[in-house]
Chains A and B, each alone.
Chain A
């Protein structure tokens, strides 16, 4: 076992990579906050409903600006590479009862700016921009267009939380940012509160959210009780150096604390068994909101989960491994993907099916996280993290695309039932083809982005342990691929309905033979109104479909970009 002094210097060296920064590391968030306030103001001064769309464009501009500011904080890998910046540093003597201040004098901060957090900020901005664009097309929101200003400000407020979640370095910041996202999410989910489903969505989201965040907060308090600090790096340090924190009965306490803390994050990524809210909220909320929750909120959830697991727990390099959180996560991953897929099989509503499938996708990403980091080996391998980042980008385009295509169709035919999708390909070949593309990408068939995501998840799962050269996670890989085949079945049902089946109405007419309906009317081409979409709607559809294909064909930039995050904290 390595000596404590050795491990101490390891941590110290890692922290040296980070320079302390203050508010100047917080500019993107400040931009968002200012934007949020201005959006509220703008909403108040625009009286005419027709002008409210301007608020949405303003929101897009704010998100883009915040994204650009985040982008300037991206540090490409160089030999004299710096890990990142701590923002809002505070004196450790305030919190740390065990004196290690000679070693670590800069690690105590509320948040951190590094490539990892920048990645998630860019992701959140991109998703936000797409979602606001979608909102302009959404019939559900256009019907309530006098509230579009309010809507925009809520999206901006939520994005502040999304920016902070993966950047948090302190249990307090983690909690605050998750709550910020949640509260904005509760209101957004109930945006169409007059409808039964909308009210149900909001209520369910709040109840489950309150429970989850309560449990998480209790877990955090146990962490504080164990280690005397709320800072992730300090927790790591104390866990590594003070055996009393994880021996004897305290081991159970540590497990309890960890599991409770994970509840809140599992709720955000909708992992089984904290997924119950997902289908109802995704079903009841306006579709752009559903898309935002399923992509941006889930991504940030993964960001905070990765940050927490990889920062707060020492690896074997710094002392004895404490918790086998990898195996626990692997089991959770298999449960999540299998449950999500099995439940999706039974859905007759496309949106609910997609909701369950997002649960399955969380399972795939959890599998990469469980298998990838190889926390117990000496050479930490962040393959799993990179795989998740790649997956999240491919998932962003694909899932947003799928929801968007469903929304376009819903706008026109007023239904999301698979049975009502019958024969849609004849009426609306563009939207139907695009939806098939997105569904195929979600399945992970080559030449789509989804395949690259799945390829890298499998690569992470199959990466050999650096020391023992064994493949402890092969079973996880098999679980992932069997689940992919399972998922193909229900994705194909939608494709089959659109392309292979005749509309119910037409079949009813055909059955009613001799009713004087001309024969041509019953044929494939005749007698049907073609669905037309506005040009901007089609442009947005292409804006999501083109990256879905392009990333499948040439994925080097994406992998390079995601790999740039790899040494996000030099451990």
Chain B
């Protein structure tokens, strides 16, 4: 690893360069504006591939700062001396482990694909790409941050651009959808803010003077000073909590409250039924590229948050409540699938299928064993790719016909053969056919969760049948039979659309056949997370479970 090359800073903030460049391009120079964004996202993709190639899959990370990779740590804000709220340290602390490296890779892929798909945006192009790049910074930063404060800032940073991207460039009910998205997400994340403040009061560390092994001391009393820290890794150590602080101990009422606060923020994002109602609106109203980003990456931030923060910081609560988590996983899978079945709007159907597929992630996390959790992380990656493809395909059709009604089409298989081939790949991957990537992750999830929660796993299997049903039904309605008169002139997929679709299809198949390169990234970290949860949780498990 090259110590001097701050690859995470670069990959996160490189869009800022693009934003500056875009700001100086006249608004008429549409080609340049598009080229800048595509260029920036391609550089990000190259960096992500560099990270992927140099990532050492045998290092665990999770709560051990030494086994994180590409670490950057600089003090950002240090307050000391006056002791109003105690001393405080906020670090610019970035690093990757198996959980985040897959997400960074996914983000880079989806951002590049989304940038190409954004070519169909026709009005106020400059503003659009500025917002797009800002969104990109927020997402990438969220996955790289290891300091809770930093994480929170990145997490909130993407709200505003997302609001405008849906609200300005969205469909007919865009204002309503954008407002709903913003309010819902803020409601979730503001509880996270409360928990974050509680956590920082609960943690204290001694700091070293940079470059030495000397402890930072109070300039007046010359005693070593304790700093409240936002370091997530520190928060995961149950012994690090200050005695008598709000989140100290195990299984206390405050810790339950803290867990619920964090979990709510992430559950809104996943989205977990019953907090899912923003998603169909946002997805349907957003322009294609933004739907791709929303479904492909943003939903994963919720699941990532649960894995990184909820499980790590409140392991005993997560263990105690995992039965409920599995139940909600089941509800997501089946409810999402049932809703998808009832939709006649193509895009809304895909949106509900996302809810269903994210249920597998919840179920996998709730299993609390290596197979299930691995399945969950793998499912996050696979769903990101597959759902991005699905939304792109919806967009292809919508661009040509200005309608998304499933029942308005028929016989498109002959009309648009290349389109049909891509749809078949995406649909079969989404319904979990073997040899496609999602089969593997769903199999892992079931394998893991069957050991822990048999009932919910068996019940969830219904969801797989429902998923197959609605995808096949849709395929039949749209692609077989006769072509309605008015769609006789539809053109097939253009080269530009192929550029974004074919790589995704290739990934879906390649990972489905040979999952090694992706799975190897995360295995060690997932194992470590499982063992951390289980070693930290039994402290009070006996007292919690009847």
Contact = CB atoms under 8 A, between A and B. Distances in A.
Given A386-B84, A445-B159, A556 B179 contact: no
A77 B81 CA distance: 10
B82 A563 contact: yes
B486 to A, nearest CB: 24
A458 B123 contact: no
B190 A446 contact: no
B195 to A, nearest CB: 10
A428 interface: no
A375 to B, nearest CB: 16
B244 A469 contact: yes
Interface string A480-522: 0110110011001001100111000000000000000000000
A446 B84 contact: no
A499 B167 contact: yes
B79 interface: yes
Contact of A458 (B187, B197, B244): B197
A462 B194 contact: yes
Contact of B167 (A484, A500, A566): A500
A501 B77 contact: no
Nearest to B170: A500
A452 to B, nearest CB: 10
B384 to A, nearest CB: 25
Contact of A464 (B82, B220, B245): B245
A488 B186 contact: yes
Instruction: Please indicate which of the listed interface residues B85, B152, B175 has the most CB atoms of chain A within 10 Å of its own CB.
Output: B85
B451 interface: no
A523 to B, nearest CB: 8
Given A485-B187, A492-B163, A458 B193 contact: yes
Interface in A447-482: 447, 451, 455-456, 458-460, 462-464, 469, 471, 477-478, 481-482
A440 B160 contact: yes
Interface in B131-180: 152-153, 156-157, 159-160, 163-164, 167-168, 174-175, 178-179
A485 B191 CA distance: 11
A148 to B, nearest CB: 37
Given A488-B186, A500-B175, A556-B78, A446 B197 contact: no
Contacts of B159: 445
A485 B156 contact: no
Assign chain B's interface to a size class: 35 or more
A566 B82 contact: yes
Interface in B52-103: 76-79, 81-82, 84-85
B182 interface: yes
Contacts of B197: 455, 458-459, 462
Given A447-B153, A463-B85, A501 B175 contact: yes
A556 B82 contact: no
Interface string A552-565: 00111001100110
B242 to A, nearest CB: 10
Given A440-B160, A458-B197, A469 B245 contact: yes
A466 to B, nearest CB: 11
B241 interface: no
Contacts of B491: none
B455 interface: no
Given A464-B246, A564-B82, A485 B190 contact: yes
Contacts of A469: 244-245
Instruction: Please indicate which of the listed interface residues B157, B182, B191, B245 has the most CB atoms of chain A within 10 Å of its own CB.
Output: B182
Interface in B315-369: none
A79 interface: yes
Interface in A368-410: 381-383, 386
A496 B84 CA distance: 40
A446 B157 contact: yes
A114 B16 CA distance: 44
B25 interface: no
B259 interface: no
B124 A524 contact: yes
B55 to A, nearest CB: 29
B194 A478 contact: yes
B39 interface: no
Contacts of A77: 81-82
Contact of A566 (B84, B156, B168, B186): B84
A471 B258 CA distance: 13
Contacts of B81: 77, 563
B77 A556 contact: yes
Contacts of A501: 175
B405 interface: no
Contacts of A566: 82, 84
A140 B157 CA distance: 37
Contacts of A524: 123-124
Given A77-B82, A383-B84, A447-B157, A462 B183 contact: no
B77 A459 contact: no
Contacts of B152: 446
Interface string B215-250: 000001000000000000000000000001110000
A477 to B, nearest CB: 6
Nearest to A560: B79
Contact of A463 (B82, B182, B201): B201
Contacts of A464: 201, 244-246
Contact of B246 (A443, A446, A459, A471): A471
B160 A458 contact: no
B411 interface: no
A459 B190 contact: no
Nearest to B187: A485
Nearest to B126: A429
28 contacts: A77-B81, A381-B84, A440-B160, A446-B157, A447-B156, A451-B156, A458-B197, A459-B197, A462-B197, A463-B201, A464-B246, A469-B244, A481-B193, A484-B186, A485-B187, A488-B182, A488-B183, A488-B186, A500-B174, A500-B175, A524-B123, A525-B123, A554-B76, A555-B77, A563-B79, A563-B81, A563-B82, A566-B82
Would you list the 10 A-B pairs with minimal beta carbon distance, nearest first? Answer: A563-B82, A446-B153, A481-B190, A469-B244, A500-B167, A446-B156, A386-B84, A485-B187, A556-B77, A563-B84
Given A462-B194, A481-B193, A556-B79, 4 more contacts: A443-B186, A481-B191, A484-B186, A524-B124
Interface of A: 77, 79, 381-383, 386, 440, 443, 445-447, 451, 455-456, 458-460, 462-464, 469, 471, 477-478, 481-482, 484-485, 488-489, 492, 495-496, 499-501, 523-525, 554-556, 559-560, 563-564, 566
Interface of B: 76-79, 81-82, 84-85, 123-124, 152-153, 156-157, 159-160, 163-164, 167-168, 174-175, 178-179, 182-183, 186-187, 190-191, 193-194, 197-198, 201, 220, 244-246, 254
